Amino acid sequence: MRAGNARTVVYHEFQHYMQYAYDSGCYAFLEPNYLNGTAAGDAEFLEGYADLAKDAVDAAVDLTLFNDIVAVYNPAQSFYDKSYRDVFSKYFSEQLGTQWNTTDPHWHMDAVRRHYEECDARDTLYVLDTLVPALKSSMTEEKLFLDFFAANWAKDWASATTQPELSISMMTPGLLMARSPCIKMSIFPAVRRAGLARAPRMTGLPGISR
């Protein structure tokens, strides 16, 4: 069990156990809106965070798991239609969490806990509009998606120290770009869903002024 996939399944399922513990309104939303894990439901968060949790317990798994997830990432699908193996959830936690060190597998997982707490407060998982600026005052939901868009292209040469918004940790350089020449398109349905009338200026991209 320790050497096989069973341990990551345990990590994944335990995260669902934790999700169900947020029962001051969040559970009442997330359970009926799962919709069998289909694109119409909320599996992008429930399964996305459960997969992220697989990456957040064991240092050895943390070194390799998202390489495999990126290898099967479908760039033609909106984040809001995803379930398992989404990369945005990892980016969200890395960018907006504040607790623990990069050497800890659970680095910045406090952002996920804050999402569950906001879900309890608003009785819905679709709270990125208020949650993102609450976690980082200079950030908005739309800008975070656009930074994710940029990071998918720039992460291979970005500096994690001076360009953290363009970095995604623990991934083999080249995998995402090699696999996903049009990954940028995958965020636009999500941005539309967020009610963005027009794209804001992109920041942090090499060669593009702020």
Summarize as ranges the residues that interact with Zn ion (CB under 5 A): 47, 50
Shortest CB 16 distance to Zn ion, Å: 6
State the Cα angle at 112 between 138 and 165, rounded to 5°.
40
Q: How far apart are CA 126 and CA 143, in angstroms?
A: 16
Paired tokens of 153: 């292209």
Q: Could you tell me which of 64, 61, 62, 87 has the C-alpha nearest to residue 74?
A: 87
Paired tokens of 32: 């009926």
Shortest CB 126 distance to Zn ion, Å: 19
Shortest CB 15 distance to Zn ion, Å: 8
8 Å CB contact between 190 and 145: yes
Tallying the residues shown for the chain, one arrives at 210
Paired tokens of 68: 């495999």
Q: Could you tell me which of 152, 3, 10 has the C-alpha nearest to residue 70?
A: 152
Dihedral angle sign, alpha carbons of residues 146, 160, 114, 87: positive
Shortest CB 3 distance to Zn ion, Å: 22
Report the residue number, 50 or 132, with the smaller CB distance to Zn ion: 50
Report the residue number, 50 or 52, with the smaller CB distance to Zn ion: 50
Report the residue number, 47 or 120, with the smaller CB distance to Zn ion: 47
Report the residue number, 9 or 76, with the smaller CB distance to Zn ion: 9
Report the residue number, 47 or 86, with the smaller CB distance to Zn ion: 47
Shortest CB 135 distance to Zn ion, Å: 24
| Alpha carbon 171 to chain centroid, angstroms | 14
Report the residue number, 50 or 176, with the smaller CB distance to Zn ion: 50
8 Å CB contact between 187 and 196: no
Shortest CB 210 distance to Zn ion, Å: 39
Give the residue closest to Zn ion by C-beta: 50
